[in-house]
Structure 1
Amino acid sequence: MERGAWTMDDERCVLRFGVGNMDFRRVTEMLAGAFWCPGISIGEVEKGAANSALVVGAFLGDLQIGYGRCISDKTRFAYILDVYVDPRYQRRGIGRRMVRSMMAHPDMADVYQWALVTKDAHGVYRELGFAPTARPGDWMEIRNPRPR
């Protein structure tokens, strides 16, 4: 499924949804350089995508330049993660387009609570309607070492 085509650098850029439309070698290259999952394997990337409610990729021609996914029950809650845009194409609104498209996707129409974690993109997500959680003390986590 393609949505939201636009032109960038005189080439057609499109968003594609679904595991079958992703270039997982390319996604792994991108995510392996991200601070939140350095060295992630293609197996981890593929398994994460397969178990997600929705995956989106941004493509410039045939080259995948962005990726994002969300985990959700598709009813009440969705968690957006792994939003990444190739540094050569950042600051052009691609990440925003991917997040907006996930939130507007028909499969997610019933979701009324969206969450994400960001280290350095608060301004971007604020523009999309996100705000710091009203009750940060209510959120809890277990953080184990990453299996190798």
Structure 2
Amino acid sequence: MDRHAIHQFLVSSYWAQGIPFEILDKALDNSLCFGVFRGGKQVGFGRVITDSATFAYLADVYVLEAHRGLGLSKKLMSMIVAHPQLQGLRRMLLATRDAHHLYRQFEFVPVPNPESLMQRWDPQIYMKAAGKQDDIGLTAELKAR
């Protein structure tokens, strides 16, 4: 995998904006990674976080815009769902804002009871790690004093 190419895309994505290279590097080390290459260049990626027995989470799936419309995302998803370590799982989850049509083709469906799911989420964590904070966070700090 071309970790620098992956980082270049993800750092400006809506779901991992600002992710430091070191954090991504650690994430990749602890994931099952899949790449799409054309002409020796990485043009797509996806990773799965899993226990390889009961559960998996699909994350960071993308194909560069210049390479979309060629069926590459379908090939990538086919490779992911067919991987031997991902067979027999009870559940595989993902989150998407705009690719529902792709994932439906691979038997992903909306969670029937989303109220049963919970999360810990800090959308500003990468900005905090970089020593940056938005006005909302700064305002909240001032009001707390």
Whether 2:111 is the aligned partner of 1:133: answer yes
Pairwise CA distance, 1:110: 2.6
User: TM-score, normalised to structure 1's length?
Assistant: 0.80
2:78, 2:89 → 1: CA distance? 13
Which structure has greater helix proportion?
2
Larger Rg: 2
Instruction: Point out where structure 2 has 5 or more consecutive residues left out of the alignment.
Output: 130-145
Residue 103 of structure 1 deviates from its aligned partner by 1.4
**Count of matched residue pairs:** 126
Runs of at least 4 residues of structure 1 off by over 3 A? none
Percent identity between the aligned chains?
A: 33
Question: What's the counterpart of residue 28 of structure 1?
Answer: 7
1:86 equivalent in structure 2: 64
CA–CA separation in structure 2 for the residues paired with 1:111 and 1:56: 18
Whichever residue aligns with residue 110 of structure 1, its letter is: G
Task: Give the unaligned 5+ runs of structure 1.
Answer: 1-21
Question: 1:96 deviation in Å?
Answer: 2.1
Q: For each residue in 1:82-116, what CA deviation from the matched residue of structure 2 results, as whole angstroms up to 9, or x when unmatched?
A: 00111101122212221221111112223231110
* Corresponding residue of 1:41: 20
| Residue of structure 1 aligned with 2:90, choices 105, 112, 115 | 112
Q: What is the Cα-based RMSD across aligned positions, in Å? A: 1.3
Give me the TM-score of the superposition, normalised by structure 2: 0.81
Partner of 1:69: 47
Within 2, Cα distance between the matches of 1:117 and 1:140? Answer: 13
